[in-house]
Amino acid sequence: MNQPSPVPKRAILVVNAKSRKGREMFRHAVVRLRESGIEVIKAYPVRKPSKLQPTIEEAVNSGAPMVIVGGGDGSLSSSVDYFVGKDCVFALLPLGTANSFARGLGIPLDVDSAIDVIANGRRRRIDLGMIDDDYYANCAAIGVSPLIAETVPHKLKRALGRVGYLMWATYQMTRFRPFKLTVGDGPDAETIDALEVRIANGRYHGGTELVEDAELDSGEIIVQAVVGTKSSTLAWSWFTSVVKMRARKKTYREFRGTAMRITTDPPLPISIDGEVLAHTPVMAKVAKGVIEVVAPADA
């Protein structure tokens, strides 16, 4: 049996310096990576959001054996496209608010421990989700999540982190309206009343474990819909999920497959790992085993 290839010891570091902890942690990350035995070929603190994706694309195409991306879920999700079909390992430093993708991989949320994973972890081949032709890392969502993503004050996220995010989410739930969700196409399509939809490649959404059966290497996508017409039902679903009450399973329906048509009435925006990037109707798909990431050795 072939042994898996070791994690590369040479890498380019790209940090979103606009992420919650990016600016203050950039220099520290460079020093700690080198102390951990990683040769940092180049290091980029990207302060303009418009420059982040071109910088990552250039780093991957340079031939570097590994590219380390530091940022929040939006930064990480926008990065994965450039690794598809490339012989380049994707490593991550969780520097955002929710850090759902890192949680799903079992990566610690403090920078020093995350760097220890990069230095001593293992390669893991994982799936990506797709909304039409756009790859994403963890979870796309319809409902209150895009409303939060479009309106949450940056200063609130920066000052209070995940607590501020949850406070804003609670406020937005009072403004939200239910919708009709149709999953599938043709005679097998099913339509239900929905309050929120999670199109999940990973288990975490908003830093909370909501889609518990989703795995990053399962080869399937899970569409989880919170069913109902009252905003109180959505609040109850979130609460029971956070505290792991058995009642949580009665608040949602799940659909599983490799590709599913998603339609809503009315048409609604979709947040993809925290960034509003699409609108219904869309095709949700799984791209099986298309990138290699660095994961904890004991994951």
Least confident of 14-28, 53-67, 241-255, 278-292: 14-28
pTM higher than the cut 0.95: no
Q: How far is CA 204 from CA 1, 54, 145, 224, in A?
A: 33, 27, 13, 12
pLDDT digits (tens, 9 = 90+) for 4-50: 789 999 999 999 987 667 777 899 999 999 999 999 999 999 999 89
d(CA 83, CA 273): 17
More confident call, 284 vs 19: 284
Pick the CATH number of 135-288 from 3.40.309.10, 2.60.200.40, 3.30.70.260, 1.10.3720.10: 2.60.200.40
Closest CA to 207 of 102, 283, 127: 102
d(CA 251, CA 128): 26
pLDDT at 294 over 90: yes
String of DSSP letters for 38-86: -EEEEEEEE-SHHHHHHHHHHHHHTT-SEEEEEE-HHHHHHHGGGGTTS
pLDDT at 57 over 70: yes
pLDDT at 299 over 70: no
Stretch 50-65: mean pLDDT: 96
As a whole-number percent, the residues of the chain with pLDDT over 90 amount to 69
The residue ranges of every structural domain in the chain are 10-126+291-295, 135-288
- For residue 163, what pLDDT band results from cuts at 50, 70 and 90? low
Closest CA to 205 of 174, 180, 231, 234: 234
pLDDT digits (tens, 9 = 90+) for 198-221: 999 999 988 889 999 999 999 999
Closest CA to 206 of 141, 282, 135: 141
Average pLDDT, the chain: 89
pLDDT at 1 over 50: no
Pick the CATH number of 10-126+291-295 from 3.40.50.10330, 1.20.1440.120, 3.40.50.12780, 3.40.50.300: 3.40.50.10330
